[in-house]
Amino acid sequence: GAVVSQHPSWVICKSGTSVKIECRSLDFQATTMFWYRQFPKQSLMLMATSNEGSKATYEQGVEKDKFLINHASLTLSTLTVTSAHPEDSSFYICSARDFDTQYFGPGTRLTVL
């Protein structure tokens, strides 16, 4: 199947700093990518849909100024957590659609101290 990568896989940062997470589709082009968040022992929560060349579509309750999404090319979307706080600590997962199937990245563990 298609491969989606994320970088970094784990990041620890101080409160108030910004963190950028990259999501790449390695062997296919994706006009649409998705960003999810998962809290411990909970399901995946869709945060936003990232559209290449246009603004992201955010789910209700997700702060667009807090979670900046850029989809500058058909193979790269980035999520920047701005002014991170401990409550932003979570597991962030991206995915991209290739024809009829949505493929997920391995996830990024963010810990904000």
Partner 1 sequence: DQQVKQNSPSLSVQEGRISILNCDYTNSMFDYFLWYKKYPAEGPTFLISISSIKDKNEDGRFTVFLNKSAKHLSLHIVPSQPGDSAVYFCAASAGGQNFVFGPGTRLSVLP
Applying CB under 8 A, the residues found at the interface with partner 1 are 1, 4, 6, 32, 34, 43-44, 46, 49, 91, 93, 95, 97, 100-107, 109
Instruction: Report the b/e string of 1-25 with b at 16+ CB within 10 A.
Output: eeebebeeeebebeeeeebebbbbb
State the nearest-atom distance from the C-beta of 72 to partner 1, in Å.
Answer: 21
User: Of 65 and 100, which has the nearer Cβ to partner 1?
Assistant: 100
Which residue number, 28 or 91, has a Cβ lying nearer to partner 1? 91
- Determine how β-strand 108-112 pairs with β-strand 10-13: parallel
